[in-house]
Amino acid sequence: MNKKHSLLLIFLLLFITKINAQFVGYYNMHDGGVDMPNSSLFVLPNNEFMFFYYSGYKAGIWKEIDKNNISLIETKSNNNPTKIISRGNEKSTEIMIDVEGLVKAHAYINFSKDTISEKEFQPIFNEWTDCIDNHYIIKKKSGEYNWLTIALPTNPNFGRQSIKYPYKAKTYTFSLSKIQGSYFIHYDEDALNEKMEFKLTKTNENYTIDYSDKKLEREDLTDDLNEQISNAKKQISKAKLMEEMRTTLPLISISNTIIYKPNFKPIFTAKCKEVEKSPEPIGLDKPMMPTVDRPNGFYTVVNFKENEYHILKYKLAKEPSITKEDILSVNKIVSDNGGYEVEIIFTEIGSLKFAQLSKNNIRKPIVIVANKFFVSAPIFASEINGGKMIIAGDFSDTEIDALIANLKK
């Protein structure tokens, strides 16, 4: 390597080091409250980061996007969300399983003697849990069952606002063969989440994170902070090692299932008292949808004005842009958020029409008419290709079956 190339390489290294140095440091996220501490972000010089928040931590790597932006990507292990861990007491004729860890998980359970018979799942807890105790032990005689299966919602946000049936779930089947003693179920909700990825930006002397408008201040990593980070890493490594050393029930299989509204009462009720609900006005539980003298189909709105989404004022085109001849099938499917949705699959020609319709009406409503009713008025954010669309809504079984029947007419 000649002298010219050596100088160029040194210059590039110094430039990269300077870019890196402006992001390396400690950031207070200022996202806490009265009873919740602020989260902390540590951007380390070895291209690692550690993010500590109220209920846990995340770690990963960061890389430069450009001189004013870096990307932080979580390093996520492929852990399953649930484990059944021994408490070490083997001198018993019973199997005792502590399920307190699932109190907020909307989990269902099944004990079986074989893996062939159809499983009937029982809810472990009631739907809305409060007044949580610490005595939630399921007891079974050793040898009575060979398999234990836990069903958990695939959507980690399921049940935050409402609980709708049916919903998609994953099942985790464990072997109970030749075991006895006391166990507890460990539940890691974060294992269901996608890995975290966000961007840290520097504008002049201010720093911002892409999911918040708050300005962050960077502080240099002092010896005291570096020691805290080192101790945190040691504690995390020690906790992982201790977990790996524990005896766990063997996980035999993972599969997908659908959980329907239960016929069984929950095993445990973690509830203080019924919360009195304000009576809903009669006849106003659902908004009235307009009627229109048009055949079934997809219609453009001819009187739409930008940002004026008043469905009762929509005036439809005389002819539908998409008719039943453009629809190949209409299906009832389970939503990722629970409950049912309508899936419409278009014919080859219908797919082209629908793509063009969505392209020509971005940020505008399209009204779907069935049996002379407005049944949905979706607003397209972009052109939709693929020949398929979903109609979502708070539909009952009867309503969604009627909707599908009318769309098929």
Which CATH number applies to 297-408? 3.30.1360.200
Give the CA radius of gyration of the chain: 28
Rounded to 5 degrees, φ, ψ at 63 are -145, 155
Q: What confidence category does residue 278 fall into, taking pLDDT thresholds of 50, 70 and 90?
A: very low
Per-residue pLDDT reduced to its tens digit, 107-145: 999 999 987 888 899 999 998 887 777 789 999 998 899
Does residue 281 register a pLDDT over 60? Answer: no
Domain covering 3-77+195-242, topology: Lipocalin (2.40.128)
Provide the pLDDT for residue 137.
93
On the CB side of 400, CA atoms within 13 Å amount to: 20
DSSP 285-318: SSPPPPB-S--SEEEEBTT--TT---GGG--B-S
Provide the pLDDT for residue 280.
42
Residue 261 amino acid letter: K
Provide the pLDDT for residue 90.
61
CA separation (Å) from 233 to 39, 54, 60, 82?
17, 17, 12, 24
Does residue 288 register a pLDDT over 70? Answer: no
Q: What confidence category does residue 15 fall into, taking pLDDT thresholds of 50, 70 and 90?
A: very low
Please state the domain extents for the chain.
3-77+195-242, 82-191+245-259, 297-408
Provide the pLDDT for residue 57.
87
Which single residue is written with the structure tokens 């005291």?
A: 224
Provide the pLDDT for residue 42.
95
Per-residue pLDDT reduced to its tens digit, 156-207: 888 877 788 999 999 999 999 878 788 999 998 888 888 889 999 999 888 9
Q: How does the average pLDDT of the chain come out, rounded?
A: 85
Q: What confidence category does residue 4 fall into, taking pLDDT thresholds of 50, 70 and 90?
A: low
CA separation (Å) from 98 to 34, 111, 127, 139?
32, 15, 19, 9
pTM of the entire structure?
A: 0.74
Does residue 260 register a pLDDT over 80? Answer: yes
Residue 316 amino acid letter: L
Provide the pLDDT for residue 289.
73
Does residue 19 register a pLDDT over 70? Answer: no
Per-residue pLDDT reduced to its tens digit, 43-84: 999 999 999 988 788 899 999 999 899 999 999 877 789 999
Q: What confidence category does residue 284 fall into, taking pLDDT thresholds of 50, 70 and 90?
A: very low
Provide the pLDDT for residue 97.
93
CB 343 within 8 A of CB 333: yes
Per-residue pLDDT reduced to its tens digit, 215-233: 898 999 999 999 989 998 8
Does residue 10 register a pLDDT over 80? Answer: no
Per-residue pLDDT reduced to its tens digit, 366-395: 999 988 889 889 898 889 999 999 988 777
Q: What angle do CA 363, 367, 368 make, to 5 degrees?
A: 135
Provide the pLDDT for residue 192.
86
Q: What confidence category does residue 12 fall into, taking pLDDT thresholds of 50, 70 and 90?
A: very low
Q: Could you tell me where the DSSP H helices lie in 83-222?
A: none
Percent of the chain scored above 70 by pLDDT? 90
